[in-house]
Amino acid sequence: MPDPTHIDIDYVARLARISLTPEEKETYAHQLHDVLVYFERLGSVDVEGVEPSAHPVERVNALRADEPGPAFSPEEALANAPARRAQQIVVPKVVEEA
């Protein structure tokens, strides 16, 4: 396991869309490192002959019938929106261009 300085904390923060102070970066890099170390312990388990599994519970097919249920009113749907216009949520312009 590399030491905490090997974690690109700026990259991780950017992916999560959070901004961190230098102190926070230091703190979180260490915490993240500890998490990774903890998960490393999984590597010591003998999984010879065990099929990879997508879910901890051995169940499949939790399905529902295709019947439309209730919808939010627009008022409910937009209740958390910081800004709205024309019954839509207003966000900063997001055109993916140069």
Partner 1 sequence: MKFEAVIGLEVHVQLKTRSKVFASVGVGFGEEPNTLTDPVIMGLPGVLPVLNHEAVRQAVRAGLILGSEIPEVCKWDRKQYFYPDSPKNYQLTQYDEPVCVGGAVEIELPGPARNIMGEHRWVRLTRAHLEEDVGKLTHAGDYSLVDYNRAGTPLLEIVTEPDLYSSAEAVAFLNALRMLLTEGGVSDCDMEKGQMRCDANISVRPAGSSTLNSRTEIKNLNSITGVRQAIDYEIRRQTGVYAAGGQVVQETRRWDAEGGLTTSMRGKEEAHDYRYFPDPDLLPVRFPTQEVEALRTALPERVFDRQRRYQETLDLPYTLTSVICYDFGLARYFEEALAVYGENPKALANYIANELQRERGAVEGEGLLPLEDVAMRPADLAELVRLIDTGTLTKHAARTVFVEMFQTGEGAAAVADRLGLKAEPQDSGALEAICRDVIAANPVPAAQFREGNAKAINAYVGPIMKATQGKANPREIHEILARLVAASD
3-state secondary structure of 12: helix
Pick the piece of the chain touching partner 1 (CB under 8 A) from 21-29, 32-40, 42-50, 72-80.
Answer: 72-80
Verify binding: residue 90, partner 1, rule CB under 8 A.
Answer: yes
28, 63 Cβ separation under 8 angstroms? no
Task: Compute the least distance from the CB of residue 1 to partner 1, in Å.
Answer: 19
- Give the Å distances, CA to CA, from 42 to 34, 38, 39: 14, 8, 6
Pick the piece of the chain touching partner 1 (CB under 8 A) from 2-10, 11-19, 23-31, 34-42.
Answer: 11-19
Closer residue to partner 1, CB minimum distance, 32 or 78: 78
Binding positions for partner 1, 47-66, rule CB under 8 A: 54-57, 59-66
44, 64 Cβ separation under 8 angstroms? no
How far apart are alpha carbons 66 and 63 in whole angstroms? 9
Which residue carries 């260490």 as its tokens?
Answer: 30
**Interface contacts to partner 1, rule CB under 8 A:** 14-15, 17, 54-57, 59-74, 77-78, 80, 85-98
